[in-house]
C-alpha cells in the first residue's frame, strides 16, 4: 500500500513534465534540452498541423541499403516523406549513423553529435540565448530567444528546396545534393546575383568557384538599377517571382497554379541540375507533379567552357519526357563509379600514346556511330576539306583522337576527356566514337620449343593418308595411339624438370640458354636494366601457330654459387598470382646462366609514364597508386611466404595495355650480391632516394622498408616529380622534405602546380600526402602496414594528422 502511494505521488510530480511535452508537441514548440536519437522508429518534432516533421530520416529507406540517417525537415503526411531541408556540411556527407543524437541547447541551438559524442553539426547561434524552438506549419524550424526574437531558422539556411512563404536573398542560394540518396553537396547552384540576375550554374566542388550560368533570368537592367531584381519570392499562393527594386515582378511561375489550400508546393534544385516547382494533393496518394522547370534542355543549354556538362566526362546526355537528363556511357566505356549513373565514364581501353605512341596499334580500333550527338567543347583539331573516310582514317592513325564529328567537308577531332556530351535533334553532323574492337589476349604460359617437333610433324604427315582411308575404328585407335605418344613425350619432358635432376620443383617451364638466346635474337633489344641485370625483349612460341612477346631478365648480380637460393626464390615467385604483379612465365638455370622470363608489358615503366613531357591524368595516377598498394599488400600478407621487395621505385612498376600497375622484380632481393649492389653502402639493398633509414642503422629489416619506399613513390605519383632532382634547386631537390614543407605550410597546391584535375580534388591530394608522410616516418614502428595504408587510401580508415617524419634528424640538427 505504501509503495502504491509513493508511485501515485511520483506521478503527480511528473504530470507537469508530461503535460508540457504534450502541449509542446501540439503547439509545435520544442523546449531547451529536448533530444532526438537516430533510429528506425525514432520520434520527431511535428508542426501543429502535422504537415512537417523535424527529425531523423533514414537515407534510402526503400532499398534499406544502409544504416545512415539524415537530420532533416520533411513532409510527414505523405507517403514519400519528401525532404525539404537538411544539414549542410559542405564537403562532407551530412548523413550520420544510427544512435546519433540532436539536442536543443541554450548556447548553441541545435547540436548534432555522432554516437561517440563528437559534434558533427550545429545551428551556430551568433548572439543571444535560445529559449525555445518552433516547428512551424510553413516548414520553417525557428529558434527564438525569451523575447521571441528569431536567432536562427531553416528558411534562412536553405539546402536544395524553397517552400511557400520563403524568400531568397543575394547572399543565399540553393545547392543540389550529389545524387538521389547522397546528400553531400553536389555541383549545381541556384543563386541570385548582386546584379539582380537569377542563375543556375555548375560549381567547382572543392573551391565553390562558379562556372558559366546555364540559365539566367535576365533581370539585370544596367540602364536602370531600380528595375533589377533583388529578392526571390515564393508566396503562400504557390507563385514564384523575382521582386525588382522598384516593386515590379518578374514571374517565374507563368502558368496558373492549383489552389494552395488543397496542394503542397515546393521548388527544388534537383541533383541533376534541373530546378523545378512541384505540387502534390494533400489528400492524395500520387507522385509530385511539375508546374514548371528550368532550363528547357539542360543537355544543350549547360554549355560553358569548364566542367563536364550535365553528365560526367565521356558520358552522353539525353532528355526524358520530364525534361530531366539521362546519362549513358558510349560503347567501349563504363561508369567510373558504378553507383553513380550520372557520373563520368572511363574508357575500357587505353590509346597508348605514352612512349611516343609505340604501343598504339590502330588496327585494334574501330568506330561506333552515334546519332544526333556532339561534344561541342572537346575539339583538338579541324581538317577541311576532308571526306568521311579521310576523317575516320586520320583519327584511327592519331593515338590522341577519341572521336570525330563530320559535317559537309569538315572533320573535327575530339580529345579525352570528352565534355558536354549531348544528343540534340537539331544536329545534322555525324559522330563517330573510337573504341577497341579486340583486345590483346593475355599471354598463356609458354611451352619451351621442343626439339622433337620436326620428328612429330613428319610422323603426322606420313600417317595422314592412312587416317583418312581407314575405318572409323582404325581412325579411333590411331588417334588414341598418337595421344598417348604425345602424353609420354611431354611427361618425359616435365619429369626432367624434377628435383632429382638438379632443377626446380615447379610447373614453370625451364628454358635452355640457347632457346632464350634465339628468342631474343642473341639478346639484341634491350628494354631496361636494374640492380639484377639487363632486360631484353623476346618472342617465344606458345602454340604451333602463335607467339608471345616476353621480357627476359638476364641476371648478372646473383650469387654464382647460390644455386639452392636461386631455385627456392624462383619457386616462391612462381607461386604468386595477383593482377598487380608481373607474371613469371619461365626460367633458365644452366651453369652460370640464370635468366627469368616474364610477360612483356607494352606501356613500359611508371618512371617514363610519370616523368615524361605530358602529365598523366590525376584519376589515372591515383588508380595506379591504389594498385601498387594492393600488390604490395599481397606480397606482404597474402603470399604463402612473405616477400619483402626492398626496391620499390617507379622503374620497377610496369604498366599493361590498360595502364594497370604491375610490380616487377619482387622476390629477387635475397639473390642480390651485396658487394655488387649499386646501393649506398655495402649491406644496403635498394635505390638512393627510396631507401628506408633502418638500412643505415643496421636495424632489423622488415616489410616496413617497402612501406617507406611506397611513401616516396606516392609523392612522386602525386607531384609527377622525381624523388631527388638537383635541378629543382637545393630547397626543393629532396621531394620528401619539400612535400612535408608544403603540407606543414598548407601549400599543397604548390605540390600539384598546374595540374587542374588535382587542384580540383585538393581534399584527395591532402589525404594522399598525409598517407605518404605516415609511410616515410623515420621510426619504422610509426609506419602503418600496407594493409592500413590501403585502408587509408580507400577511405575505410580515417587518416589522422601525421607527425614530423624526421624527429631523429631534427633532433640531431
Name the residues annotated as catalytic: 647
| Grid cell digits, residue 55 | 527529425
Q: Read off the DSSP letter of residue 417.
A: S
Based on the number of CB atoms within 10 Å of its own CB, is 741 exposed (0-12), middle (13-18) or buried (19 or more)? middle
**CA–CA dist 603, 359 (Å, integer):** 6
Contacts of 23 (CB under 8 A, 6+ apart): 29
Please answer whether residues 717 and 678 qualify as being in contact, where contact means their C-beta atoms are separated by less than 8 angstroms.
Answer: no
H or E stretch at 756: helix 756-759
**Running DSSP on this structure, what letter comes out for residue 728?**
G
Angle ∠(318,320,321) on CA atoms, nearest 5: 145
Which pairs with CB-CB distance under 8 Å and at least 24 residues apart come from 383-390?
A: 383/410, 383/411, 383/413, 384/409, 384/410, 384/411, 385/409, 385/410, 386/410, 386/411, 388/430
Instruction: State the cell numbers at 637.
Output: 600478407
Binding-site residue positions: 554
Q: Which residues are annotated as a binding site for ATP?
A: 554
Take residue 2 and report the three cell numbers written for it.
505504501
CA atoms of 802 and 595, how far apart (whole Å): 43
Query: Helix axis angle, 762-775 relative to 735-744, nearest 10°?
Result: 120
Residue 712 CA to chain centroid, in angstroms?
22
The C-alpha atoms of residue 731 and residue 571 are separated, in whole angstroms, by 46
* DSSP code, position 166: E
Strand boundaries in 310-465, DSSP class E:
316-319, 325-328, 333-335, 345-347, 365-370, 373-375, 379-383, 401-407, 410-415, 421-423, 430-436
- From CA 405, how far away is CA 392, in angstroms rounded? 9
CA–CA separation, 404 and 379 (whole Å): 9
Cα–Cα distance for residue pair 264/539, rounded to 1 Å: 73
> Please, are residues 158 and 51 in contact by the beta-carbon 8 Å criterion?
no
DSSP state for residue 26 in the 8-state scheme: H
CA distances from 323 to 264, 280, 300 (A): 22, 19, 11
Amino acid at each position: 500500500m505504501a509503495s502504491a502511494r509513493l508511485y501515485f505521488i511520483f506521478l503527480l510530480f511528473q504530470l507537469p513534465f508530461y503535460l508540457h511535452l504534450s502541449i509542446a508537441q501540439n503547439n509545435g514548440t520544442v523546449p531547451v534540452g529536448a533530444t532526438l536519437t537516430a533510429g528506425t522508429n525514432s520520434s520527431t518534432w511535428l508542426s501543429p498541423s502535422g504537415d512537417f516533421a523535424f527529425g531523423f530520416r533514414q537515407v534510402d529507406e526503400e532499398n534499406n541499403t544502409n544504416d545512415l540517417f539524415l537530420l532533416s525537415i520533411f513532409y510527414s503526411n505523405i507517403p514519400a516523406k519528401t525532404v525539404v531541408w537538411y544539414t549542410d556540411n559542405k564537403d562532407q556527407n551530412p548523413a550520420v549513423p544510427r544512435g546519433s543524437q540532436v539536442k536543443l541547447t541554450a548556447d548553441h541551438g541545435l547540436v548534432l553529435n555522432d554516437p561517440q559524442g563528437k559534434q558533427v553539426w550545429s545551428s551556430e547561434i551568433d548572439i543571444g540565448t535560445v529559449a525555445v524552438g518552433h516547428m512551424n506549419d510553413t516548414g520553417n524550424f525557428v529558434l527564438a530567444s525569451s523575447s521571441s526574437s528569431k536567432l536562427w531558422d531553416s528558411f534562412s539556411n536553405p539546402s536544395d528546396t524553397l517552400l511557400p512563404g520563403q524568400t531568397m536573398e543575394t547572399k543565399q542560394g540553393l545547392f543540389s545534393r550529389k545524387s538521389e540518396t547522397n546528400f553531400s553537396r553536389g555541383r549545381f547552384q541556384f543563386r541570385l546575383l548582386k546584379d539582380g540576375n537569377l542563375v543556375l550554374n555548375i560549381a567547382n566542388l572543392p573551391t565553390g568557384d562558379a562556372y558559366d550560368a546555364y540559365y539566367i533570368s535576365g533581370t539585370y537592367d544596367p540602364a536602370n538599377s531600380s528595375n533589377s531584381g533583388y529578392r526571390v519570392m515564393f508566396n503562400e499562393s504557390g507563385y514564384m517571382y523575382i521582386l525588382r527594386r522598384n516593386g515590379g515582378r518578374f514571374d517565374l511561375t507563368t502558368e496558373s497554379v492549383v489552389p494552395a489550400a488543397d496542394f503542397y508546393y515546393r521548388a527544388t534544385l534537383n541533383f541533376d541540375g534541373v530546378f523545378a516547382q512541384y505540387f502534390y494533393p494533400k489528400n492524395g496518394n500520387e507522385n509530385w507533379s511539375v508546374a514548371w522547370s528550368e532550363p528547357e534542355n539542360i543537355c544543350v543549354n549547360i554549355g560553358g567552357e569548364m566542367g563536364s556538362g550535365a553528365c560526367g566526362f565521356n558520358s552522353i546526355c539525353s532528355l526524358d519526357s520530364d525534361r530531366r537528363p539521362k546519362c549513358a556511357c558510349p560503347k567501349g566505356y563504363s561508369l567510373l563509379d558504378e553507383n553513380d549513373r550520372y557520373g563520368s565514364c572511363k574508357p575500357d581501353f587505353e590509346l597508348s600514346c605514352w612512349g611516343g605512341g609505340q604501343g598504339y596499334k590502330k588496327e585494334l580500333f574501330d568506330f561506333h556511330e552515334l546519332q544526333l550527338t556532339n561534344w561541342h567543347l572537346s575539339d583538338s583539331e579541324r581538317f577541311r576539306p576532308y571526306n568521311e573516310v579521310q576523317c575516320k582514317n586520320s583519327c584511327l592513325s592519331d593515338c590522341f583522337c577519341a572521336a570525330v564529328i563530320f559535317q559537309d567537308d569538315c572533320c573535327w577531332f575530339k580529345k579525352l576527356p570528352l565534355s558536354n556530351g549531348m544528343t540534340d535533334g537539331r544536329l545534322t553532323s555525324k559522330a563517330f566514337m573510337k573504341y577497341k574492337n579486340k583486345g590483346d589476349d593475355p599471354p598463356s604460359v609458354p611451352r619451351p620449343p621442343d626439339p622433337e617437333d620436326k620428328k612429330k610433324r613428319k610422323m603426322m604427315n606420313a600417317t595422314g593418308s592412312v587416317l583418312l582411308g581407314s575405318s572409323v575404328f582404325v581412325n579411333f585407335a590411331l588417334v588414341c595411339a598418337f595421344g598417348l605418344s604425345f602424353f609420354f613425350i611431354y611427361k618425359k619432358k616435365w619429369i626432367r624438370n624434377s628435383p632429382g635432376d638438379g632443377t626446380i620443383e615447379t610447373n614453370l617451364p625451364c628454358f635452355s640458354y640457347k632457346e632464350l638466346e634465339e628468342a631474343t635474337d642473341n639478346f639484341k633489344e634491350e628494354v631496361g636494366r636494374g640492380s639484377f641485370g639487363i632486360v631484353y625483349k623476346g618472342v617465344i612460341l606458345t602454340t604451333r601457330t602463335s607467339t608471345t612477346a616476353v621480357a627476359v631478365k638476364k641476371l648478372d648480380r646473383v650469387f654464382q654459387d647460390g644455386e639452392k637460393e636461386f631455385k627456392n626464390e624462383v619457386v616462391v615467385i612462381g607461386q604468386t598470382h595477383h593482377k598487380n604483379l608481373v607474371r613469371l612465365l619461365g626460367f633458365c638455370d644452366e651453369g652460370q646462366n640464370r635468366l627469368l622470363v616474364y610477360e612483356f608489358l607494352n606501356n613500359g615503366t611508371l618512371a617514363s609514364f610519370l616523368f615524361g613531357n605530358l602529365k598523366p591524368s590525376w584519376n589515372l595516377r591515383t588508380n595506379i597508386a591504389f594498385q601498387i598498394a594492393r600488390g604490395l599488400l599481397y606480397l606482404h600478407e597474402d603470399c604463402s611466404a612473405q616477400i619483402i621487395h626492398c626496391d620499390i621505385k617507379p622503374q620497377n612498376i610496369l604498366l599493361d595495355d590498360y595502364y594497370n600497375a604491375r610490380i616487377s622484380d619482387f622476390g629477387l632481393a635475397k639473390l642480390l650480391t651485396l658487394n655488387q649492389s649499386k646501393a649506398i653502402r655495402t649491406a644496403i639493398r635498394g635505390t638512393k632516394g627510396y631507401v628506408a633509414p633502418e638500412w643505415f642503422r643496421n636495424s632489423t629489416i622488415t616489410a616496413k622498408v617497402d612501406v617507406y619506399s611506397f611513401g616516396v613513390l606516392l609523392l612522386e605519383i602525386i607531384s609527377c616529380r622525381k624523388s631527388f632532382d638537383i635541378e629543382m634547386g637545393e630547397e626543393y631537390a629532396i621531394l620528401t622534405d619539400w612535400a612535408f614543407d608544403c603540407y606543414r605550410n598548407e601549400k599543397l597546391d604548390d605540390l600539384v602546380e598546374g595540374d587542374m584535375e588535382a587542384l580540383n580534388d585538393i581534399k584527395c591530394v591532402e589525404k594522399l600526402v598525409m598517407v605518404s608522410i605516415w609511410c616515410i616516418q623515420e621510426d619504422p614502428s610509426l609506419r602503418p602496414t600496407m594493409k592500413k595504408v590501403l585502408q587509408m587510401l580507400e577511405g575505410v580508415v580515417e587518416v589522422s594528422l601525421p607527425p614530423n617524419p624526421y624527429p631523429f634528424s631534427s633532433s640531431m640538427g
